[in-house]
């Protein structure tokens, strides 16, 4: 029986080390994506002089919000790396930032009221889920016990 336990332990250790290696590579890729996004944002600053302020600022704003969404993905990866689990609040934050990026883009195009209503309901739903996730967090239950 204990040979099976050793095999299970070795398989578990191999899986954990493999996951850490893959996650480390992912974190490097995310950092490079953030640097590329910052570079694109600074490059798009030229649009202020080439186009009207309205369209240039729209592009720059979407670039910045996209970089912030990638930063939230990095937070999620780092939380998994340090704690060994993914925090639901970080994922919800990432989705909220991404949806808000789309909402900002809505300001510059014609939208049907149904699409706007669906987006508002999505943001409100995510906000409620985030509140519930914080309120009923496993860490909070451990602290209470």
d(CA 8, CA 129): 36
| Average pLDDT taken over every residue of the chain | 82
CB atoms within 10 A of CB 73: 20
Residue 3: pLDDT band by 50, 70, 90 thresholds?
A: low
Phi and psi based region of residue 73 (left: phi greater than 0; alpha: psi -120 to 50; beta: remaining): alpha
Percent over 90 (pLDDT), the chain: 17
**Residue 6: its pLDDT value, please?**
66
18-38 mean pLDDT: 92
Q: Spell out a b/e string for 91-130, using b for 16 or more CB atoms within 10 Å of the CB, else e.
A: bbbbbbbbebbebeeeeeeeeeeeeeeebeeebeebeebb
Taking alpha carbons only, the member of 120, 140, 142 closest to residue 131 is 140
25-43 mean pLDDT: 94
Whether this model's pTM surpasses 0.75 = no
pLDDT for 107-122, tens place per residue?
666 778 788 788 889 8
139 to each of 76, 87, 122, 133, how far by Cα in Å?
17, 11, 27, 11
The residue with tokens 């030229």 is: 46
Question: Residue 84: exposed, middle, or buried by beta-carbon count in 10 A (0-12, 13-18, 19+)?
Answer: exposed
The residue with tokens 């508002």 is: 120
**Residue 32: its pLDDT value, please?**
96
d(CA 126, CA 133): 10
């Amino acid at each position: 029986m204990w040979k099976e336990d050793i095999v299970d332990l070795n398989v578990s250790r191999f899986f954990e080390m493999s996951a850490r290696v893959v996650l480390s590579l992912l974190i490097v890729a995310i950092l490079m994506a953030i640097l590329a996004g910052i570079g694109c944002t600074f490059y798009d600053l030229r649009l202020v002089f080439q186009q009207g302020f309205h369209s240039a600022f729209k592009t720059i704003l979407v670039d910045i919000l996209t970089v912030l969404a990638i930063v939230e993905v990095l937070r999620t990866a780092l939380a998994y790396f340090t704690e060994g689990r993914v925090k639901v609040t970080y994922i919800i934050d990432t989705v909220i930032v991404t949806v808000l990026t789309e909402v900002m883009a809505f300001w510059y195009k014609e939208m049907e009221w149904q699409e706007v209503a669906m987006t508002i309901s999505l943001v409100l739903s995510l906000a409620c889920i985030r509140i519930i996730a914080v309120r009923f967090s496993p860490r909070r239950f451990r602290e209470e016990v």
